[in-house]
Structure formats: C-alpha cells, structure tokens
Structure 1
Amino acid sequence: MSNKHNTREAIVDTASRLFFTQGYHATGLNQIIKDSDSPKGSLYYYFPRGKEELALTCINRTSEFVAELLRHYAEKQSSTTAMIQDFILEVARKAEETSFEGFVPFSFWVAVETSCVSDELRSACQSVFKDWRDVIMHRLLEEGVDEQIASDKASVIVSLYEGALLQALTCKSTQPLLAAVQVIPAILG
C-alpha cells in the first residue's frame, strides 16, 4: 500500500471520527491534520475544496458502509424482516462491544448539521437515506409488496433505525435497538 493511499485514508478516517464525535462545525481542518499526522498540503492535495469536500467523502463512505451491510444481510436472509432484524442486532452488538464509541446516527451529524452548510451536502445526505431505503425497498419488492407501500415501509425502517440508534447512544444502552428489532415484524408484516 502506498504512502499516498495511507495518508488519504488517515485523513478520511480521522475526519470521519471527528465529524461523528464532535460535529461538522466543531471540527477544524487543523485538528484533522494534527490528529491524522498528515502534512497540511496533503489535505488540500486530496481535498482541494477543503472541509466540505472532505465531509462529502465521509458521507459517501458511511453511506456505502451501511448499504453494504444491509446488502450483506439481504443476501444472507430469506426475508426482509430477518434481514433488518439481523442488521440492527449486529449494530447493537458492535455498539455494546465498543462501549458506544463511534456509533452516531447518520442523521445526527450529517443530515441535521451539514445539510444546512450547502446544497451539495444536503443532496448527499438525501442520497444516503435514499440508498438505504432502496436496499430495503428492493427486498420488499422481491417479496411482492406494492411499490408505494414498499417505499413507505423502507422509509419508516430507516427512521426507526436512526431513532433507535440515537436513543441507544444517548442512554448507552442497546435496549432501544432491541425494541426496534421486536417491532420490525409488525411494520413489515
């Protein structure tokens, strides 16, 4: 692996962690540079438009990570209900395993905080939620659910997951996630 790749990844890893733990506005480029042990020129080399471009990269990375995890459970499970339950249970397991470090709902820092910064960030946030909904909706459509109902149910599931994760983080408890798992059959049934 080249140093260039390592430097870029270190910057993105650090920015993601700081954006998630401190928020977009409270995270400065100098802190990202310092905490990633990267030269200042590297940040602007990889992200010439600065903080906003770096945030877009972090948003896209988070979106793909969650969408990939959803797709993994979609392939593993025979029903959308089991897929979503296993996905949330895995998030609960990892949250507990890490004492809730690094587990922040996407909507908490990105959709609420950064979508006010620019239309480009707002649009990226919309795409994230759409991508996650689409994975769930696609599975529901395969099960024969009407398209509009599948879209609505997928939207509710994303909202339920994000809300349960926010409560879990606030309470430092997996109980809200486990409660969400229990109501999934009623929502998708």
Structure 2
Amino acid sequence: MTEQPEQQKPPRKIQKRTIDGRERIINSAARKFVEEGYKGASLSDIILDADSNKRFFYNQFSEGKRDVARAIMANTLTMNGLVPQRLKIQEIYDIGMILAYRVAREDALLAAVKLSFEFGSYEEYGTPWGDWVAFNTGQLEDAQRQKEIRPHVVPAEQARQLSGFWSGLVLTAIVVDGGLHEVEAHISRGYQNLMAAIAVPEVLPFVDFSVDRGEKLYVSFLESQAQKESAEE
C-alpha cells in the first residue's frame, strides 16, 4: 500500500488571518444585532463593516446571518475568568459579576442577551440560557451540599430565577439608565439581595461582594491568556 503524504497544516499566518477575519464578522454582526435586531440587520452592512467580502463570509458562515447568530450564541456566554473558591456562593456571585463586566463592554455578549428575547427568532439560532441555568444549578447544588444555602432552596428553580433576574437587570438598565454604565452596581445589589434570602447567614460575611470583582477576575484571565499566547509565539 502506497503511503499517503502527510497533510500539511496551513501556515500560521493564514490560520491567524482566517481567525481574525471570522472574529471581525462576528463582532460586526453583534454590533448590528444590538443596534437593529436580528431581522433588521443587513448582511451586506455586516460584511462591509467587517471589511470582508461575500466569498470569505460564506466560507465561514454558509447559512448567512443564522450561522453568525449561532456562533454568537454558542461562544459568548462562557465561564472564562471564573476561579475556584472555597465558598460556592462566592463562585455564583463571581460569574454573575464577570458577565456583568463583559456585557457592558462586549457587543457579542450584549447581542446574545438581546437576541434571546426577540420573540420567535431564537428558533433560528438557539439560546445560551439553558446552559447557564444548568451551570448555576450545579453550583447551587454544590453550595447546598456544603451547607452554604438553606435546605428549602430548590437549586434548579433558583438557577432559573437567577438567570432571569440577571438578564432582566441588563435589559432594564438599557431602558431606565440609557445604557450599561451602572449595570455592575445593579447586578451586585441583586446578588446581595438574593444571597440574603437563600444563603445561611453565617457564611455571608465571608463573601466578597465588591462591585469591581468581576472586572478584576476577568482582566486577570485576559492577562494570563495574553502571556500564554506570547509564550507560544
């Protein structure tokens, strides 16, 4: 049997150009979705804003806007920046604050929030909220096993309420405050109220409810990622 020649990987520069071009399209689409909604956003405007072309676009997103929206939904609501803590309720607060910091600064995450509430459209591109409810359920179950939250709390129900109040505060801030400049303060206060209701009182003094906690954790994560990438080059 004749041996097949080893398939060569694309040069690193070509890979990076492809990744960068794809990222520009996602960011461009996110901005347009935030400003105009999914149905209102023009595909040609997305391509133009991303400094791209139709050939490259459809090579990356064969189903057009639907594929871009799916990419936004699949890749933005991440747990990046979350660091394991002794108290699970600290982790619950931390991820909420990391996402609060990011949603005020990342069009893709804000687009994921807004698109999730465009009635009926999510059937085309999905929603990340089910995954976050499942993640929060696991955290709350761990917290209950560690006797950090009260026995009467039902983790699955509380997780659904938690994601609902988080996203609701984001949307309310946009309408009432005219933007997201105060969203971290609102969400921090929301978590403090929630923890006062569900947590065992003895653990609350040991939870760091700093408004800037999400920023510190996420910036630290980004710095560590940049160091890794620099070391690999």
The TM-score normalised by the length of structure 1 is 0.76
State whether structure 2 residue 91 is matched by structure 1 residue 86: no
Aligned to 1:136: 136
Does the CA contact (< 8 Å) of 1:136 and 1:154 recur in 2?
Answer: yes
1:31 is displaced (CA, Å) by 0.6
Paired position in structure 2 for 1:154? 159
Q: CA RMSD in A?
A: 2.7
Q: Which amino acid aligns with 1:119?
A: E
Q: Measured at CA, do residues 132 and 94 of structure 1 come closer, stay the same or move farther in structure 2, by a change above 3 Å?
A: closer
Determine whether 1:110 maps to 2:115: yes
Matches within 5 A, 1:14-163: 14-63=28-77, 65=78, 68-69=79-80, 72-73=81-82, 75-93=83-101, 102=107, 104=110, 106-107=112-113, 109-113=114-118, 116-117=120-121, 119-121=123-125, 124-125=126-127, 128-143=128-143, 144=145, 149-163=154-168
Report deviation, 1:168.
2.3
Alignment match, 1:184: 194
**Alpha carbons of structure 1 residues 94 and 54: separation in structure 2 relative to 1, 3 Å:** closer
| Partner Cα distance (2:122, 2:94) in 1 | 35
* 8 A Cα contact 2:25 2:50, kept in partner: yes
Q: How many residues align?
A: 173
3-state SS in 2 of match to 1:176? helix
Question: Are residues 43 and 187 of structure 1, via their aligned partners in 2, closer, same or farther at CA, if it must alter by over 3 Å?
Answer: farther
Give 1 or 2: higher helix fraction: 1
- Structure 1 166/119 Cα, relative in aligned 2: closer, same or farther at 3 Å? closer
Aligned mates of 1:49, 1:90 — CA distance in 2? 32
Contact 1:104–1:166, Cα closer than 8 Å, also in 2: no
Per-residue deviation at 1:150?
Answer: 0.8
Distance 1:94 1:62, change over 3 A: closer
Give the 3 Å change call, closer, same or farther, for CA 16–85 of structure 1 in structure 2.
same
Q: CA deviation at 1:155?
A: 0.7
Cα gap change, 1:105 to 1:37, in 2 (>3 Å):
closer
- 2:86 and 2:187 map into 1 onto residues whose CA distance is 21
Percent identical among aligned pairs is 21
Moved more, 77-86 or 45-54: 77-86
Amino acid in the other structure paired with 1:104: L
Question: Any idea what the Cα deviations from partners look like across 1:118-151, whole Å, max 9, x if unmatched?
Answer: 6342xx21xx1121112111122223278x9111
Shift of 1:89: 3.6
Larger Rg: 2
d(CA) in 1 for partners of 2:103 and 2:62? 34
Check conservation: 1:84, 1:184, Cα contact below 8 A: no
* Inter-CA distance 42–26: structure 2 relative to 1 (3 Å threshold): same
Q: Deviations over 1:6-58 (max 9, x none)?
A: 22221112112221333111211101110000012111111111111111111
Contact 1:106 1:162 in 2 (8 A): no
Residue type at the aligned position of 2:59: Y
Distance in 2 of aligned mates of 1:95 and 1:44: 28
3-state SS in 1 of match to 2:40: coil
Question: Could you tell me whether the CA contact under 8 Å between 2:103 and 2:110 is conserved in 1?
Answer: no
Divergent runs of 4+, >6 A: none
Unpaired runs of 5+ residues, structure 1, are none
Please point out which of 24, 35, 49 is paired with 1:10: 24
Q: Answer whether contact 2:166 2:187 (CA < 8 A) is retained.
A: yes
